Structure formats: C-alpha cells, structure tokens
Amino acid sequence: MMAQYVEIKTANPGSLLFYRMGDFYELFFEDAEIASRALGIVLTKRGKHLGEDIPMCGVPVERAEEYLNKLIACGHRVSVCEQTENPAEARKRGPKSVVRRDVIRLVTPGTLTEDALLDARRENVLAAVARMRGSEGEDGYLYALAFADISTGSFRVAETDAGRLAADLARIEPAELLVADAVYEEPHLRPLWRALPAVTPLPKESFDGASAERRLAGFFGVATVEAFGSFTRAELAASAAIVAYIERTQLGARPPLNRPQREGAADAMVIDPATRANLEILRTTTGERTGSLCAAVDRTVTAAGARLLARRLAEPLTDPVRIAARLDAVEHLADEAALAGALRERLAGAPDLARALSRVALGRSGPRDLSAIGRGLAEGGAIAALIAASPAPAELASAARAASGVDPALALMLGAALADELPLNRRDGGFVRAGYSEELDATRAMRDESRRVVAALERRYAEETGVRSLKIRHNAVLGYFVEVSQQNAERLREAPFDAVFVHRQTMAGAMRFTSTELAELEAKIASAGERALALEQAIFDELAAAVLENAETIRACAEALAVIDVAAGLARLAVDEGHVRPEVDDGRDFAIEGGRHPVVEQALRREHGPSGGPFVANDCELSPPENAKSGRIWLVTGPNMAGKSTFLRQNALIAILAQAGAFVPARAARIGVVDRLFSRVGAADDLARGRSTFMVEMVETAAILNQATERSLVILDEIGRGTATFDGLSIAWASLEHLHEVNRCRGLFATHFHELTALSQRLTRLVNATVKVKEWEGEVIFLHEVVPGAADRSYGIQVAKLAGLPPAVVARAKAVLSELEDADRAAPAQRILDDLPLFAAINRAPVAEAAPAPKADPAAQVVKAALAGLDPDEMTPREALEALYRLKAAAKGG
C-alpha cells in the first residue's frame, strides 16, 4: 500500500494527496504534518519507513468537502485519489493484492464546483495572463487576460497592458491566476502577484501561441476558433492556458464552458485597485461584504442574480446604448409593481441552474442537482410567460425568450423521475420516484417485500400441491427451500410435481426440496438491493445525459434568470429607497441634484430609525462651464467630521451605479460617461512593501495624475497631509493645477489647505465649495450641507475635544492656535499666485521663454538671510519659538 501511495504522490507533486482507504482519506509523511496543522486534527503514525515512523492523519469521506474548504482557504492544492476497483476484484489477484487507486481530480482555488466550497453569491474565477512581445505595451509587451468560472461556464478574454493589468485583475478578482514562469519572476510584476490569493506559475509551453488555436479548437470540438471571433495571439494563448489547466485538474472531464467572449478595452469603466478599496464597492476595507456598496443595493433573490449584480458593479459600462437598455428594464419593473412582485416570487424558488449544470457535466452531481435543474427550467418557463403577457423592453424580452428556450419535456421528465425527498449523493439510492420504472419498482418490491413475496409463493405451492403444511424456509447453508413432512413428501415426488420440485435434503421427520422458480427468487432477493441501486444509477445517467444534450439552452436560461433578477432587484431598490433614473450620454456633464450616499443613508436609518433625521442631500455640478469642453473641479474645504469624504465618495458611487445600469440615490442625475474613475481617500501604509502612509498616498496620486483623461472622474481627499505642512501644501497645489490644466478631468478635491482656495482666481474651471457648520456656545454643529464658498478654519480642536482629549491639552491647543493665526495666512498664497506661472506654463513653455524672475522683496531677503542662519536640529523648542517670532517680525519689515 505504501509503495502505491509513494508512486501516486510522486506523479502528483505540489499538492496534498487525499488517499482513499475505506471510509477515510488518509495523508502520510509531510502531507500529514501539513494537513494536521492546517485542519487541527490529530497526527498519528502507521508503519515505518527507513526505520522511522510514518506520520499519518485522515479525514472521513463524508466530511471531505469541509476539510477541503479549509485547505483551499489556506492556499493548498489537493489531489483526490479514489479506489478505482472493488476490493473483491483485488482479492481475485491474490490475498495481498492492493486495490487499484488513481487521482481523479486536482482541487485548486480556481477549479471548485461544489456548493460547500463556494460562496453562492460570488464568482469563482480562474484567470490566466499571457504576454507577447509587441510595440504597444508600456514595457514593450502586449498582455491578455482570459478568465473563466467553471462553476457557471462563463469564459471571457480581453487585451490589457502593464499599466492597466492591476485594474483588470482587481475587476475580475481571480481566485487563482495562471502565469508563465518567466512572467511570474518579473520584478515589476511581483507586487501584483503578491496581492492575489493564489498564483500558479506554469511552464512557458502552457502559453505557447503557436499551438493555442489548436488546443482551443480541440477543447470545444470545432475545426477552427475563427467562428468565436477575432482574437490576438496573446488572447488565444491565455485562453488555451485556461482550457489546458482545466483539462489537467479535471483529468479530462469537460465543464460546460461558454465559448470565449472577447471584451473591448473600452467596454468598461477602468477602476484601479486603490479606488476599489477606497470606495468599498464589493467589500469593505476589512474584507467584509456587509457595509459595501454591493450589499447596500443588493435586492436580488437568487445566487446567480447576486453574482451578476456584483459583476456589473465591478465593471460599469461605458456604452450609453447598453446602459440605457439596462435602465429601461429597471424602469419597466419599477413602474409595474405587480409584475415585479410576481417575478421575484417566482425567482425566489429558482435554484442555481448554472452551478448545478456544471456539476452534472463534471460527473460530480447528485440527485438534488438534477432536481434543481428541473425546477429551475419550470420556473424559467413560468417567468417567461409573466414577462410575455405585456410589452417589455428589449433586455427583459430577450431574457424571457432565453428563459423559455429549453424543451419543456426535459423539466417534465426530471419532475416525473425524481422523488420529492432526495438524498445528497447518488450512491445512496432512493431518489427515483415510484411508478417511473416498472423494472425498478419490481426490484424494489423484491428488496423491500421479500417476506411477502416468499409467503405468496408458499401459498401458491400449497394450493397447487394440496399439501397445506408446505413451508418455505431459509438457512445459511441451503438458502431458501420447500419443506414438507415425510408423509407428504411422496406427493412432491409424483407427476406432475416431480418436474417442479428437486430433492435437496432428507431429515428425520421432514424432507426438503427446491425448485427452479425458488432458486431464481432467491437469487433475485439476494441481489435485489444491488440491482435496485444499479437501476437507479442507470436512470441517473440517462437523466444526466438528457440534461447535457440541452446544456447550451440551460446555461442561457440560467443567465436570463440572473438578468431578470438583477432588473427586478434594482427596481425594488429604486422604489424602496427613492432612487431615480440617471441620464447617461457621451458628453462631459456631471450634474447631481440632491445626491445621497447609498450606504451611509441606509446605515443612518438602521441606527436611528426613520425618525432619526434624513441623510442631508447635496448637489454636485462638475459639468463644463459655458464655452468650455472640460469639466469643473470642486475644491471642497470644511471641518473634520463635516462630511467631506462622504460627499466625495457618494458622487463616485453614483457614477458607478448609473453606468452599471441602476437607478441612483438623487433627485436627478445627468452623467457623461466616465471612462476611468480614480479615488484617493483615506490613509494607510503598506509595510509589506516598505511603503509609509505618505508613500502610499504619493504612489496613488501619481497613478491618477499620469492616467486621468478628460472623461475621467477624480476624487482626491487631503493630498499632502502625510508630510510637513509646506511640503504637503506644495504638492497639493501642484497636483490641483495639473488636474486642471493637463488632465482636464472632472474632479472633487477636498483639503484642509485653505490657501488652495486662492487658485480659483486663475483656474477658470475651479470652484470653491465648503461644508457648512454652525458654532453655538462654543460647540460646533455639523450641518453636512455643501455650499459655494471656502472655509476659513478646520475646527480640528473642537473635533479633538469630541474625541476625548484631556481638557488641558485642548486648552493649550487653543492658545497655540491663536498665536499661529496671528500671521497673515493668505499673503503667501497670494504671492504665489502673483509671482509663479501656472503649472501648465511651467510644464509646456521652453526654458528660453520662462517668465522673468520676480523683483526682490526686501522683507523676503531678510527672512531668507535669517533662515540661513538657523540650525533646527540644534535648537531647543524655546529657541525655535523665539526664532519664529523674529521671522514674523522680519516678514512685517520690523
């Protein structure tokens, strides 16, 4: 046995081997040590190897999925090794023969299909990155991404580049990523791989572009992949790597994958990983779904609908026509409340068709999967009929046709064949409905009612022979036999009974006989259980084959039900939360009237109830001014805790919802398509990569300034706050000028650097806005209302007081602030405006045409001379304060 284990383990390196022994999966050697730590199970030993004990642990087969889930979550891969023959067959080869075993499946994070191992409301994506030499990429390479979910059959492919790769990976969130060895080792790409849960390096041959088309064609059983569309070599290579890995891990079993669908580079809004994290689109910064945008707007009633909604939020459209089609469906169901309610009631009873179909195709299904498909198809037909009863917009009408596109006879057959109460596994039997198969019913009767069958035969023999004392008995030696007394034995030896009964045994007071009919009955009774189970297995295979013959239409039905569920859920959201239909077009407008934050609004309602005060709605107008092509930038000032960050985020979330095809939390919204969304909100370090909080802030800001376009929407909060005041002010100043003059995007820029408000004098599309507060008896009341204008203070000390700083610290802070505010803080900003050319002028003008240096200011010269004589590292705090007063006096000409 151990020799067999070692042979199989050697053939499957890089994974833990689940070695089937009876009712357990056993692990040995290092695998056992790893598994015992990961699973928290006892490590024992069995036998010896090279004179030392062999470590061993095991898990019950019945609970294998539970343990597999834990191991996959820990980043392990598992090879499942099953017995491939009956132990009785092994014994025929000799008493010491080992039962044949082989690996039937390699379980990896990206190839899961079991419900117990998957999040029902989240896709489980296997992705592959291919790289080819080319002149278009930022680093001299062209990249392509292929990504599939074998649990549902989706399969998509897209071109990308080194600069956009991180955003695309964040969009699809692969459970496992396949990359070539050489690409995996690239230093500039390693940070991307570290951010993913599982990355599997493969030999470069897996991404061979020359054989990619042939591998794809072979997988889908076609002569050429040209009918699938036009693909680049990199896209074909990535797609071929996906199908080759699936074939390797599933050992030849073929999941019902869609043919690869190509996505255009400009089909979806680009959202980089930092922005997704800052806006908490699918999950919060702590990794939880609760508290995210997705959780706040999810009113779906099916798992497939929840997955589709998450995908739409992760990749909002950029095509106004497709966006309008989605909005039409939502509007129709929002207006037709009765229809929407009926659809949701039906959808709630629809199982997860796509994942059940995948398990059937891979041979991992049970009776409940077949039943789920039957019920799902029945519900699909009923849902299609509801939609067809009245005029419906194009998206709903198309979904209704797909939902009813499966042969109704299949659902009827599945319903007739499967019992109401079903076991989890097909091997348990008992899942075929009584009356479906006469042969199975008779075999079950033989199995379950053997006593009644034997008694009936006994009565018949007694009546036919006239021997009323005739009995049919059973023992372990003879099996079933007919027993009569010695006086009646001659009756059975006479014609015509001598042709029926055969003498078996003579006893002192009785004689025993058998008959052909009794022998056949005995054989049937003995094998009835096995025969009944075999008949059920055959029926299961027939039903599964019928399902797979309709795989494409079933998958289309599953996708259609998800589309209908999302539209109905968003319609319910719009009615319940007072959302409105946005206007989305190809322009540069961004006009929100009475916008609200969808997550914060609901949180306030949960915390305080309907009477706890409404969320304060605010307008946002970033549309281009008259005679301008580029949008506005709002410079938002105001105190801490006033709601600046909420205001910034809500407008970004409104853009995402609108382009995802949802109604938005506002009185009205008009949005020109946003091609890229950037958000730099909050502070966090990245210690694993050696980055301080300020470094992370600068890296993210650099990405925005280097990539934002006129169609982009940029949300920036407190740029420059992670460093010294003048450093931070300088960076924020230059960044704001760059956004206005170079990127020319629509944007919201929140800051506590009030000096920046002076820029509105020379940046024509920069608008000052502030969050209102009211002071009352020394306390600050936050009104959360955004109005035109600029704040003159940040009320940081009041917030510190609310946070519980000691009174002595608050009092001292007020005194220091009073001294510092004596300086004229507007003067430096005004001097920069007067003396320095705009960022764009500095950036674009030749050196020879640079603006002349400003005239020397005597006071400034005195200050510079005084500064040159200071050594801050050698000064005491008292000396530094005195120097500050001297500089203040020098600046005033004293």
Exposure string over 595-629, b if 16+ CB within 10 A, otherwise e: bbbbbbbbebbeeeeeeeeebbbbebbbbbeeeee
pLDDT confidence of residue 851: 42
Query: Above 70 in pLDDT, residue 277?
Result: yes
409 is in an annotated binding site: no
- Which DSSP letter does residue 683 get? -
DSSP bridge partners of 21: 24
pLDDT confidence of residue 136: 56
Query: Above 90 in pLDDT, residue 892?
Result: no
State yes or no: cis peptide before 854, omega within 30 of 0.
no
- Spatial CB neighbours of 661, under 8 Å, sequence gap ≥ 6: 312, 317, 322, 323, 325, 326, 327, 329, 330, 570
Q: What percent of the chain stands above pLDDT 70?
A: 91
843 is in an annotated binding site: no
643 is in an annotated binding site: yes
| CA dihedral sign of residues 158, 162, 164, 165 | positive
Residue pLDDT, tens place only, 781-808:
778 899 998 876 667 777 777 777 888 8
pLDDT confidence of residue 847: 38
CA distance 704 to 330: 33
Q: What percent of the chain stands above pLDDT 90?
A: 53
Confidence of residue 13 (pLDDT cuts 50, 70, 90): confident
CA distance 573 to 344: 13
644 is in an annotated binding site: yes
Going along the chain from its start, the domains and CATH numbers come out as 2-107 (3.40.1170.10), 119-265 (3.30.420.110), 298-420+550-577 (1.10.1420.10), 439-532 (1.10.1420.10), 583-791 (3.40.50.300), 858-891 (no CATH)
DSSP bridge partners of 151: none
pLDDT confidence of residue 871: 76
pLDDT confidence of residue 640: 76
Residue pLDDT, tens place only, 827-852:
556 666 666 666 655 554 443 333 44
Give CA 889 to chain center in angstroms: 62
316 is in an annotated binding site: no
135 is in an annotated binding site: no
Question: Average pLDDT of 880-890?
Answer: 78
Q: Higher pLDDT residue, 750 or 640?
A: 750
Residue pLDDT, tens place only, 582-594:
999 999 999 999 9
645 is in an annotated binding site: yes
Query: Above 50 in pLDDT, residue 331?
Result: yes
pTM: 0.83
Question: Average pLDDT of 168-194?
Answer: 91
Residue with tokens 């950037």: 678
638 is in an annotated binding site: yes
CA distance 419 to 422: 6
Query: Above 80 in pLDDT, residue 97?
Result: yes
Q: Which two tokens stand for residue 862?
A: 């005195």
